[in-house]
Structure 1
Amino acid sequence: MKKHYSFGITLIVLTFTLLFCLYSKIYADELSSDKDIREHYSKAMEDTDYIIFKAKVLEIEYDDTAEKRNVSLEADIRYQHLKIEILDGSHKGETMTIRHTIERIMPGYYIFKAGDKLLIRATEDNGKIETVKIQEKVRDTQVYLIVGLFVTLLLIIGGIKGLKTLVSLVIAVAMIFFGYIPLIIKGVSPILASLGISIPVVIITLIIISGKNIKTFVAIIGTSLGVIISGILAFIFGNFAHLTGLADDSSISLAYIPQFRNLDYKGILFGTILIGAIGAIMDVAISIASALYEINDLDKNISKKNMIISGMNIGKDMMGSMSNTLILAYVGTTLHLIILFIVYRIRFTEIINLDSIATEIIRAMAGSIGLIITIPVTVVIGTAIYKKKKA
C-alpha cells in the first residue's frame, strides 16, 4: 500500500508539473510584443537616484505643533525642526537638521519626539546629501519582535511539530516569492502559476508536517481537489461577473507601470483565491483524514457506510468554524470600505455591484465552497483507501 500512495503523490506532482510546463511557455509570450518598452522601464526603475537610510531624532530644535491657532483646518500647517543622526549607510554617524511639515488636514500625520527613529529618503551630489524627505517611521523592530514571538511560541508549544510547521511555512512563502511572483511578472498565466505553486506547497507541507503515510496521501488528494474547485468556481463566477482584477489601489497602481500594463490582473485575482484558501482547506483535509484513519483503526469491521457517516459528522463540526475563518478574514480586509459605505449611506444595489465588493464576495464564497466540498471528497476518498488497505 505504501507503494500505491507514494506512486499517487508522484503522479499528482508530475501531472501538474507537466500541465504547468506545457502551458507556461504559451502564456510567457503574451508580453513579448512590448519587450523593448518593458526592458526600458525595468532598467529605469532599477537605476534609482536616491538612497534610503535610518535616522534617529536627537533633539527637537523647533516645534509649533502645540500652539493654539484660530485658523481653518485647511490652512493649519505646523513645523518641526528635527536634529537627526544617520544610523546606517555610507553617511552613518552624520548629523543634520531637517524640517518636518505637518498639514493638519491630512489624516495620519506624524508628530515626532526625541528618540524616534525615521526612514529617510535622500539624494546625493558628489557623495554629499543634497535633499532629504521623511519617508516613514521605522517599524521593523516591532515587526521582527512579533514574528520572533510567533516563532518562539510555535517552537515551545508545538515542539517538533512546531518546527516542522515553521519549515513548511518558510518553504511555502519562498515558493510564492521566488516562484509564483517571478513567473507572473514574466507573463506566465497566473492561474497556471497558482496551480503550479499551490499543489507542490500542499504536498510538501503535508509531508513535512504529517510524514509520508496514507493519511497524508488522503489529505493531499482532498486538499488538491478542494483548491482546484475553488479556482474553477472563482474563474467561472469571476468571468460571469466581469471582474477586472483591479479592485484595489495596489493593483491599479501596478497597472499604471508601463512594463506591467499587460499583466493578467483577472488571473492574478483568481490566483490569490487559490493561495488564500490553501491553509483552511488543508487543515480540514488532514483533520478528516486523520480522524477517519483512527476510526478505521479502532473498529476494523466498520462498514464503509458508517465510516462515511462518521467522517461527515466530523466534517460538519469543522465546516462552520473554518468557513467563518475564511469569510471573516476577507470581511476584515474590507472593513474600512464597509464603514465608508455606511457613513455615506450608499444603497445596497450600488454596493453589491461594485467591482471591489463583488470581488471580495466571490473570493470568500469560492474559498468557502472549496472548503465545504473538501469534506465529502476527503471522506469518500479516505474511506475507499482505508477500507481497500484492510482488504
Structure 2
Amino acid sequence: MKKLIWILLVCIIMNHNVLASEHNDRSIFVNGKVIEVVEDYMDEEHYTREQILRVRLVETPYEGKEIVINHSINLTTLQQLIISENDNIIVWINTYDTHLENCRVYSFAREDYLLYLALIFIAMVLLLGGKKGISAIISLAITLGLVFFLFFPMVINGVDPIISALLICGISAIITLVIIGDFKEKTYAAIIGTIGGISFSIVLTYIFGYLTNIQGIGDEYAEMLLYVPNASNYNFRDLLYAGIIIGTLGAIMDICMSISSAMEEIEQANKRITNMQLFLSGIRIGKDVLGTMTNTLILAYVGSSINLILVFYMYGLTLKQFINRDEIASEIIRSLTGSIGLVLAIPITALAFLWFRKS
C-alpha cells in the first residue's frame, strides 16, 4: 500500500505538471500491437539489444495506422523490455499537427489483464458475499474514490497530508462501516474504535518519528518526487505519516467491526449479561483476532520491503547499520505503530459498545 501511494502521488503530480505545460501537450500514450519484429540484434559495443518493430496502433484516433519503432534495450539494467511478435504494448508518441514523431515503446499493455483480474475479484466477492458482497464492493469503490479524487488533489494543492489522510480515513470508516453494519450500536462502536486506534497510531508515529529523525525520503518513489516541479515544497515526513494512516485503516476497521458484531450477538443471546462480562467477552474476541491481524499487518510491510532487506543481508551489514537506515527505521515505526493502534482499538471498541448500550 505504501509503495502504491508513492507511485500514485508521483504519477498524479507529474501528470498535473504535464497538463499545465504547453511543451508536453503533444505527448500521448497509445495502445499498439506488434505485427513484426523486423530486426533483432545485439550491439556488444554499447551493451544494448536493438529491435526494429512494426507496430499497428489499435486506439483512436490512430487506430489501424502502422508505424516503425527503433527499440533499444539497455542490457546493463534489470528492467529489459524485450518485445516479441503479437505483443500488446503502450507506445509513447510525440505529435506535431497530424504527424507522429519520436515513437517509443513505453511498456507492455497490461490494463486489460488487470481489468480481468479485478472482475474476477468482484465476481468472487459477489458470489460468496451476496448482499454483504455488494456492500463491500460499494464501500471499496467509495474508499478508492476518496483516495483518488479527494486525498491526492488535496495534497497536490497544498493541504497538509496528515489532515488529508485523517479526513479521508474518517469519512471512509463512517461510510464503509455504516454500509456494512447499518445504523446500529455495533457500527457506531466500530467507528469510534477505528478512529481511536488510528489516532493513537498517528500520535505514536509523530513521537517516534521525531525522536528518530525520520526524513521520509528513504523510499525510491519519494526520491522521485524531489525531481518533480513544485514537489520540493512537500513535507516528506508528513507524506510518510499519511501513508501509515491509510495503510492501517483496513486492518483496524476489520478488527473493530469483528469485535462489535460479536458483542452484539452475545448481548442478543444473553440479555442479562453484565457490562463487565460483555466487555471481557469483547476483549477475548479481540485477542483471538489480534494474533492473525498483527501478523497480517507486519508481514505486509515486510513483504513490501523484501528486496531492500535482501540487499542488506547480501552486503553483510550489521544490525546497527541495518536498523538505523532511514528506510528501515521508517518501516519498523510504520509496522509497530500500526500494530499498537490495532491493539488499542480493541478496548476502545469494547468500551464504546458498552457506552452505546447504556445510552
TM-score (norm 2): 0.91
Q: Classify 1:312/1:46 alpha carbon distance in 2 versus 1 (closer, same or farther; 3 Å).
A: farther
Alignment pair present for 1:210 and 2:157: no
Alignment pair present for 1:199 and 2:199: no
1:78-100 per-position Cα deviation (integer Å, ceiling 9, x unaligned): 22221111111332211122222
1:75 deviates by 4.8
Secondary structure class of the residue paired with 1:366: helix
Q: Structure 2: state its 5+ residue gaps.
A: 1-15
Q: 8 Å contact 1:42–1:259 — kept in the other structure? A: no
1:111 deviates by 2.3
Q: 8 Å contact 1:292–1:383 — kept in the other structure? A: no
Aligned to 1:323: 294
Aligned to 2:323: 352
Aligned to 1:267: 238
Pick which of 87-96 and 230-239 moved more: 87-96
Letter in 2 for 1:222: G
Aligned to 2:37: 60
Q: How does 1:1-391 map to 2 (within 5 A)?
A: 43-44=20-21, 47-64=24-41, 75-386=46-357, 388=358
1:108 deviates by 2.7
1:48 deviates by 2.9
Letter in 2 for 1:93: G
1:31-66 per-position Cα deviation (integer Å, ceiling 9, x unaligned): xxxxxxxx998722784332211111111222236x
Matches of 2:97 and 2:287, distance apart in 1: 68
Runs of 4+ in 1 over 4 A off after TM superposition: 39-42
Matches of 1:315 and 1:306, distance apart in 2: 14
Aligned to 2:13: none
Matches of 1:353 and 1:94, distance apart in 2: 55
Letter in 2 for 1:61: V
Letter in 2 for 1:345: G
Q: 8 Å contact 2:17–2:229 — kept in the other structure? A: no
Q: 8 Å contact 1:41–1:259 — kept in the other structure? A: no
Secondary structure class of the residue paired with 1:119: strand
TM-score (norm 1): 0.83
Matches of 1:188 and 1:128, distance apart in 2: 41
1:125 deviates by 3.2
Q: Classify 1:150/1:257 alpha carbon distance in 2 versus 1 (closer, same or farther; 3 Å).
A: same
In the alignment of these two chains, the number of paired residues is 344
Aligned to 2:10: none
Aligned to 2:7: none
1:115-142 per-position Cα deviation (integer Å, ceiling 9, x unaligned): 1011111222341112111110111111
1:158 deviates by 0.7
Letter in 1 for 2:29: I
1:358 deviates by 0.7
Q: Classify 1:184/1:76 alpha carbon distance in 2 versus 1 (closer, same or farther; 3 Å).
A: closer
Q: Classify 1:121/1:42 alpha carbon distance in 2 versus 1 (closer, same or farther; 3 Å).
A: closer
Q: 8 Å contact 2:216–2:240 — kept in the other structure? A: yes
Identity of aligned residues (%): 34
Letter in 1 for 2:73: I
Matches of 2:57 and 2:107, distance apart in 1: 14
Pick which of 88-97 and 242-251 moved more: 88-97
Q: 8 Å contact 2:18–2:25 — kept in the other structure? A: no
Secondary structure class of the residue paired with 2:30: strand
Matches of 2:78 and 2:325, distance apart in 1: 26
Matches of 2:164 and 2:73, distance apart in 1: 45
